[in-house]
Amino acid sequence: MKILVCGDIVGRSGREVVFNHISGLRKNMLLDLIVLNVDNAAHGFGITRDMAYQFLDGGADVLTGGNHLFDQKDAIGLLAGEKRFLRPANMPSIVPGSGVFETITSKGLKIVVVHLIGQVNMPIIGENPFFFMDKLLVKYQLGKNIQAIVVDFHAEVTSEKNALGHYLDGRVSAVVGTHTHIPTADERILAHGTAFQTDVGMCGDYDSVIGMQKNIAEKFIKGYSNNKTSPSPGEATLCGTIIDINDKTGLADAINSIRIDGVLHQST
């Protein structure tokens, strides 16, 4: 099976590039599942109900969030009523919604998507993601009662992302990082068969400062800024990764990053 994970969608231009390509990618790449990280979709901060359903009705199967998940007032209601919209699974159980989504493909293959948040330099407090996954994988055993397990790890530091990838190697199909908005060039299959990439990048305008307008640089020059930051409105690049998973073992056969349009454009 083939699964596409797209990194943080930032603002209008990020939404547009995803809407422009999502249907074609599913058809041309024969995708079985599409996961979108929508943590910055609504003007850079969270997502609204209308936007969420535009993505879901437009071809996405699962939406994940992150540290900006609760920046829009729609989040709580969405989490309570929409199983395809995930909050980090390792957040306290008192938080509405779930961070684990089960689905069955048209081929009858069972897939689980897990959304986690990191512990280092993140504003949302969650349970240790390593311990959380140990408990979850008692229920889901790759190649036995589940055909694929894909983890979106929304974390700040590369070391924590790398550590979780190796910790879960051979027990999940893929661990892909989101949050830092810059695609890393380390997509690979780890020693025991898990696909890994430290960060899949963002879907947004890269002629910017991680998707926001360049006046944000004032904060680094002066140490403060009175200007409100807004998403950069230029042509966006769709950044993501496509994971090929063996239907029998649940381990990865291949992982390939994609970049479409904008200043990071590459041919696919």
Q: Is residue 266 part of a domain?
A: no
Q: Is residue 108 part of a domain?
A: yes
- The predicted-structure confidence for 1-58, as pLDDT tens digits, reads as follows 999 999 999 999 999 999 999 999 999 999 999 999 999 999 999 999 999 999 999 9
Is the pLDDT confidence value at 226 over 90?
no
- The predicted-structure confidence for 159-208, as pLDDT tens digits, reads as follows 999 999 999 999 999 999 999 999 999 999 999 999 999 999 999 999 99
Q: Is the dihedral of CA 86, 89, 91, 97 positive or negative?
A: positive
Q: Provide the pLDDT for residue 227.
A: 74
Is the pLDDT confidence value at 267 over 50?
no
Q: Is residue 193 part of a domain?
A: yes
Q: Provide the pLDDT for residue 243.
A: 98
Q: Provide the pLDDT for residue 156.
A: 96
Give the chain's domain count: 1
CA distance 233 to 155: 25
Helix axes 158-168, 129-139, angle to 10 degrees: 20
Q: Provide the pLDDT for residue 80.
A: 95
Q: Is residue 181 part of a domain?
A: yes
Burial class from Cβ neighbours inside 10 Å (0-12, 13-18, 19+) for residue 79 reads buried
Q: Provide the pLDDT for residue 268.
A: 45
Q: Provide the pLDDT for residue 266.
A: 61
Domain boundaries, position 132: 2-260
The 10 Å Cβ neighbour count of residue 100 is 17
**Whole-model pTM?**
0.95
Section 54-63 average pLDDT: 97
Catalytic residue among 68, 154, 179, 181: 68
The CATH code of the domain that includes 57 is: 3.60.21.10
**Residue 5 token pair:** 């994970």
Could you tell me the pLDDT band of residue 216, with boundaries at 50, 70 and 90?
confident
- The predicted-structure confidence for 70-99, as pLDDT tens digits, reads as follows 999 999 999 999 999 999 999 999 999 999
How far, in Å, are 8, 24, 66, 257 from residue 39 at the CA level?
6, 23, 6, 20
Could you tell me the pLDDT band of residue 140, with boundaries at 50, 70 and 90?
very high
CA distance 1 to 81: 28
Section 103-131 average pLDDT: 93
CA distance 46 to 241: 22
The 10 Å Cβ neighbour count of residue 224 is 7
Q: Is residue 267 part of a domain?
A: no
Q: Is residue 29 part of a domain?
A: yes
Q: Is residue 142 part of a domain?
A: yes
Burial class from Cβ neighbours inside 10 Å (0-12, 13-18, 19+) for residue 161 reads buried
Q: Provide the pLDDT for residue 198.
A: 98
Is 181 noted as a catalytic residue in this protein? Answer: no
- The identity of residue 69, as a single letter, is L
Q: Is residue 107 part of a domain?
A: yes
Query: Using an 8 Å Cβ cutoff, are 164 and 129 in contact?
Result: yes
